[in-house]
């Protein structure tokens, strides 16, 4: 009697080796950003791992993977559009108290090259963490005037980047 049972871990590993490159190329073409594409593919395989019993029993697990990848990318794009709207609204606000508060854990990933700037981290504290200028200035060890200038500078940079995309 031959046992055709293949453990889920082995099936997932086989799918990963077979599909990763194809999925990455596809995601890169849709998202136009390799880092986001890698994140989308990895998230898709994480979902596969959590739903392995269901997904691996499908007639076409590769098709399931591709549909899941499409859903992951759609969600990523939706999150990016929401973040863009938030930032555009905050950039147009007359005073910082009018800015929306949004709980987004992936804001650093979404704005990768800008997010490493101290000015961006300062703006994030004010917008997302609802800090006052005084609190942000104290945390960053700067004057309130310097804090205001840095916020103004990063708003201008973000506005330029968002209008380019």
CATH of the domain at 103: 1.10.10
For residues 63 and 102, state if they share a domain: no
pLDDT tens for each residue of 14-64: 999 999 999 999 999 998 889 889 999 999 999 999 998 888 888 999 999
Query: Which own/partner pairs from 76-80 qualify as long-range (CB within 8 Å, at least 24 positions apart)?
Result: 76/31, 76/36, 76/39, 76/40, 77/31, 79/104, 79/106, 79/110, 80/110
31 within a domain of the structure (yes/no): yes
Number of domains in the chain: 2
For residues 37 and 65, state if they share a domain: yes
Residue 56, helix vs strand vs coil: coil
Q: What is the CATH number of the domain that holds 70?
A: 1.10.1740
Domain containing 147 equals 93-164
For residues 160 and 126, state if they share a domain: yes
Q: State which of 55, 78, 101 marks the end of a domain.
A: 78
What span, in angstroms and rounded, lies between the C-alpha atoms of 149 and 152?
5
125 within a domain of the structure (yes/no): yes
- In this prediction the pTM is 0.52
The dihedral through the CA atoms of 41, 43, 45, 51 has a sign that is: negative
Instruction: Report in angstroms the alpha-carbon separations of 156 from 79, 115, 150.
Output: 22, 14, 10
pLDDT tens for each residue of 143-152: 989 888 888 8
For residues 142 and 104, state if they share a domain: yes
């Amino acid at each position: 009697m031959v046992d055709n049972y293949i453990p889920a871990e082995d099936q997932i590993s086989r799918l990963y080796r077979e599909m990763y490159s194809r999925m990455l190329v596809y995601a890169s073409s849709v998202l136009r950003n390799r880092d986001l594409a890698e994140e989308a593919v990895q998230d898709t395989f994480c979902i596969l791992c959590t739903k392995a019993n269901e997904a691996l029993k499908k007639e076409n697990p590769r098709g399931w993977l591709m549909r899941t990848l499409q859903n992951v990318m759609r969600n990523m794009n939706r999150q990016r559009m929401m973040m863009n709207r938030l930032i555009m609204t905050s950039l147009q606000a007359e005073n910082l108290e009018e800015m929306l508060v949004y709980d987004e854990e992936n804001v650093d990933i979404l704005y990768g090259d800008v997010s490493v700037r101290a000015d961006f981290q300062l703006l994030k504290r004010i917008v997302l963490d609802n800090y006052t200028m005084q609190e942000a200035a104290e945390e960053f060890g700067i004057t309130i005037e310097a804090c205001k200038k840095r916020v103004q500078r990063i708003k201008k940079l973000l506005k330029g980047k968002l209008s380019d995309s």
